Amino acid sequence: MTILAIGSDQRGTGYMYGLADSIYIAHIDFTAPKIMVIDFPRDLWVEIPEIADHHGITVGKINQAYLYGNPGMGYYDGPGEGPGLLARTLDFNFGLRVDHYFAIDTQTFVRMINAVGGVDVKVESPIDLNFGMETPDPKLYLSVGTHHLDGNLAYELATNRIPSTFQRMKYQRIILNALREKLLSPDMLLKLPKLVAQFITSVQTDLSLNDINRIICIGQAVTKENVRVDSFPQEMFTASGIYDPSRKVTTFIYEADFDQIRAMVADFMNGVWPFP
């Protein structure tokens, strides 16, 4: 089973709009059992299919595919709304086909972290979101070691945009690894069905309860060593600027060798990760 997981920057209720602030692919091998997760940079410039006839848009950042697909925009009339168009974009550009999708907005993320009692993040080098400056509104500072974060602090760390998208993705992986540790603990595994019932109506997903129960079951069987959260090598991506015709501005983007990404995606789908 391959799942597209999206962190939406939508701050209101519902999923009418919102960019894909984070984009993850989770590949679940129920036989091994093993779970592998990779992320895509939100600023990657791609072709966006299926909306050219409606609004003339053929390209954009990968996170815009989610926005254009959501009902508030009115650009896309295919299945799956924003996640559906983002899934089609991943398939169109990289041959990555997903079985299901899951999107969570900012408020639900905070509530969900709080519902599991927060997360304990392991920090290997100091994280200073103040960047050594004194400010009237101090931001998060984490020294080397383990720190307990509630939902609001986890959100602050996960959405920090400075100094780069890749640093932001690193922070998100720190939180995901901490959440993995929390959810795979024996006590929390017993509470997962109740948590699912609590949040199922607050997320944007096509996962059925049967699908979710299968995932919970593998969570009880998989070892922590067989759950990997990883990323494409940063050196694969080149920062650039390009004119975005939909917004009529020059925007920051990442470019990459799509043939290389396609080859790595194929390996990932075959259970090969990290790469030799």
pLDDT digits (tens, 9 = 90+) for 40-71: 999 999 999 999 887 788 999 999 999 999 99
Residue 208 inside a domain? The answer is yes
- The reported pLDDT for the residue numbered 275 is 58
96: DSSP letter: -
pLDDT, tens digit (0-9, with 9 covering 90-100), for 115-128: 999 999 999 998 88
Could you give the dihedral angle defined by the CA atoms of residues 233, 34, 213 and 152, in that order, rounded to the nearest 10 degrees? -40
pTM reported for the whole predicted model: 0.92
Q: What is the pLDDT of residue 22?
A: 95
Specify the pairing of strand 249-256 against strand 141-142. Answer: unpaired
Q: In this predicted structure, what is the pLDDT of residue 223? A: 84
Range of the domain at 104: 2-269
- How confident is the model at residue 157, as a pLDDT? 93
Q: Note whether 130 and 139 are within 8 A (CB).
A: yes
Residue 19 burial class via C-beta count within 10 angstroms: exposed 0-12, middle 13-18, buried 19 and up: buried
- Each residue's pLDDT tens digit, 169-200: 999 999 998 998 898 888 888 888 899 999 99
Which pLDDT score is estimated for 234?
A: 92
> Do the domain assignments include residue 211?
yes
222-226, 237-241, 257-261, range with the lowest pLDDT: 222-226
Q: What is the CATH number of the domain that holds 61?
A: 3.40.630.190
Q: Which pLDDT score is estimated for 274? A: 67
Give the confidence band of 229 by pLDDT, cuts at 50, 70, 90.
Answer: confident
Tell me the average pLDDT across 94-106. Answer: 96
Establish if 274 belongs to a structural domain. Answer: no
Split at pLDDT 50, 70, 90, the class of 132 is: low
Look at residue 276 and tell me if it is in a domain.
no
User: How do strand 45-47 and strand 119-123 relate by DSSP bridges?
Assistant: unpaired
Q: Distance (Å, rounded) from C-alpha 271 to C-alpha 15?
A: 32
pLDDT tens digits for 69-83? 999 999 999 999 999
- CA–CA separation, 242 and 236 (whole Å): 18
Domain count for the chain: 1
Which tokens hold the place of 64? Answer: 């815009």
Give Cβ neighbours of residue 167 (< 8 Å, ≥ 6 apart): 160
CA distance 227 to 241: 36
* pLDDT tens digits for range 108-117: 999 999 999 9
Residue 275 lies in a domain: no
What would the mean pLDDT of 26-35 be, rounded to a whole number? 92
